Structure 1
Amino acid sequence: MTAEAVATSPFAGPADDGERPLRIALLTYKGNPFCGGQGVYVRHLSRELVRLGHRVEVIGAQPYPVLDTGATLTELPSLDLYRQPDPFRTPKRDEYRDWIDALEVATMWTGGFPEPLTFSLRARRHLRERAGEFDVIHDNQTLGYGLLGDLGAPLVTTIHHPITVDRQLDLDAAQSRVKRASVRRWYAFTRMQGRVARKLPSVLTVSGSSRQEIADHLGVRDERIHVVHIGADTDLWSPDGSVAEVPGRIVTTSSADVPLKGLVFLVEALAKLRTEQPDAHLVVVGKRAEQGPVARAIETYGLQDAVRFVKGITDAELVDLVRSAEVACVPSLYEGFSLPAAEAMATGTPLVATTGGAIPEVAGPDGETCLAVPPGDAGALAAALGRVLGDAQLRARLGAAGRERVLTRFTWAAAAEGTAAHYRAAIEASRVARSRRAR
């Protein structure tokens, strides 16, 4: 099945259909809106659900999400064991509150990642104490054991993509037996997520590619998985002719130390590209890794002055940075959706992207709305980037077509409508099930 052939939610329809507004609990065990798609999802979906008239309460742990006006935040704190500047810290004795805290620390001490499980247990306790306050509970990829059973309202779950994909890519990148053992232990929580996913009556996901991966990797039955595309804030991410393009500028959003993001291949491509276009340079939105494959590649190719990392900038500064680029690039080996692709296209900046995961579903056909290359191919990346940098007419054509694609297919307003329709379907299914049990 091709990405374009995958239907969106069968319940898709207008949310303002005369039915009463919904009381929504939106759960997120990690909510940072500047690092990772989950925080972006919570921020923008909650805003658009509020615009539709619904009441949204986000229940989250550290890093807490940043929300726009309308949605409220209830903090459900973890021990925040991975916070900077002291990740993998040991809490002080007076920080422990209950057995869940002890479980969180013990899992970290043994090399595991506890947050999906421990957040789900805290969320279960919190929601049961507030039974009757919500019409629907929406879990944003926690998939912890604590979310099974009666929570006081029907459960809808979003899986952006199976984390087993990240696990396999990290295993492939591990260069020693000890490192591979460490990766397997860290990702042990994915077994729990698979077991929980298979028990859910209905799963939302963000792309046709993720839909297939959820079926293949997690064993969720195909008919239980529904696609509701997400998108860009097209008011914020928009063209602005007053922002001057910087010759040779390439911009990407990436975590340097995450193999899945493919940044090392983009650095290699830049080295190749600069032999013919010496003004080509790269701006990476993300944290610089002082060690690892990307740092080594920058040093090996002598690109210290041609690669710049930026982080902690405002939304407006980020949008202007993308507008200033002659080309945006998504070099990922895999993406469950690729918000950076949609956001760059929304500004009218031409895009070069790989065909990893759901990226073609977002970026569109090669040569029409983007230039597409195979994942992990630095030579192909260099050739495509060089072609775009050297052709102003191509840049203009790809930029305009990309913007139009996002406007017609990938907006947060449409995502909220489709998601709210699924909420109503889950509420109705729950009502029918209760009625049958009562007979």
Structure 2
Amino acid sequence: MSTLDQSRYLATPIPGPRSQELIDRKAAAVSRGIGNTMPVYAARAFGGIVEDVDGNRLIDLGSGIAVTTIGNSSPRVVDAVRRQAAEFTHTCFMITPYEGYVAVAEHLNRLTPGTGEKRSALFNSGSEAVENAIKIARSYTGKSAVVSFDHAYHGRTNLTMALTAKSMPYKHGFGPFAPEIYRAPLSYPFRDGEFGKEIATDGALAAKRALTVIDKQVGADNLAAVLIEPIQGEGGFIVPADGFLPALQGWCRDNNVVFIADEVQTGFARTGAMFACEHEGIEPDLIVTAKGIADGLPLSAVTGRAEIMDAPHVSGLGGTYGGNPIACAAALATIETIEADGLVERAREIETLMKDRLGRLQAEDDRIGDVRGRGAMIAMEFVKPGTLEPDAELTRALCAGCHAAGVIVLSCGTFGNVVRFLPPLTISDDLLVEGLDVLELVLKDL
């Protein structure tokens, strides 16, 4: 696998004939509700390249939505998975437990922000971990209401759909949703500027706006948890103004409300820190992780203060596959790779390269309203020139043009007008620059 050439190459137009065959087979065999971003079918992937079934090599600026953070089929992970699969594939941790689960929990307790005693519980997906974090918070506080934020994305299960802000495609037609979910305004510096420079730059002031809504619409006496992505993912890679997150956490501590950080997309070195909360020095009561935790194997976790994590009764948490032994082996190898190969620092290097390049592009093109993000989690927000009006049509055309040219990019945002970049941290500078070269050429053609 490590011999996969780290270069962009188009053997056929995209999609090629074999991908087209599989597109036709999918239409006949797979639910229409499962969509695809790219019209190609993967055959191999390594480092910063995905090779499709027609031999096209694509530059990967998506990492499977921030999952293959250490690069696809990372050598330590491949070796660990092979070893574990040869020993046993499943026993169910709730029946006959095994060391791998305990070891992953120990690492999470060590790595996540906070110096006090911590506990962890393992699950399968980000949505499942979010649901369990809410269960734990309700058990600990004896209260039921939960607050999430404008533009939030927390998953596709019933409770997490209720927590998610965007209707289409995540919620439309799937209700009714879980009750006792409320929404507060986020700090969104680019768009808050419309209401004045102060609220766009003063996170404490933006938090005051949110907390006023929470106090009036819910009330601390009814509120079990405040749930927030430290940097929003699907909502548009929105980085709140400095001071917003600490002010929310301080209010939660003062009012017996559990502060939950959803680090599903931001965790594990993605933002130039092991966890995005570290950028503002906050210590969540509970932190939810998934995606980058195991280099592509299904695993998620809730980690937090011991007295909160221990609140549910025995057997109140669990699941047949939660903390699967192969996924745990992958997670241990992933954490080893991040720490041994200096990938937190590598994420910062990627941020410097990308922000410099995209910032220069923004200075020349008034369709680029904002360039933002941290580490290898960077976004461009597109607007109609001279306005804040979102330009989703341009965003769609830009993504399609990049895809046709062999570069995997993703869109996001409530208004569908944000292009997000999530390159693997193992991508070379040359490959990253080439991907951005393609993006710039496509944008100029549009």
Work out whether the TM-score is over 0.5: no
| More RCO (CA 8 Å, sep 6+) | 2
TM-score by length of 2: 0.32
Taking structure 1 as the reference length, the TM-score comes to 0.33
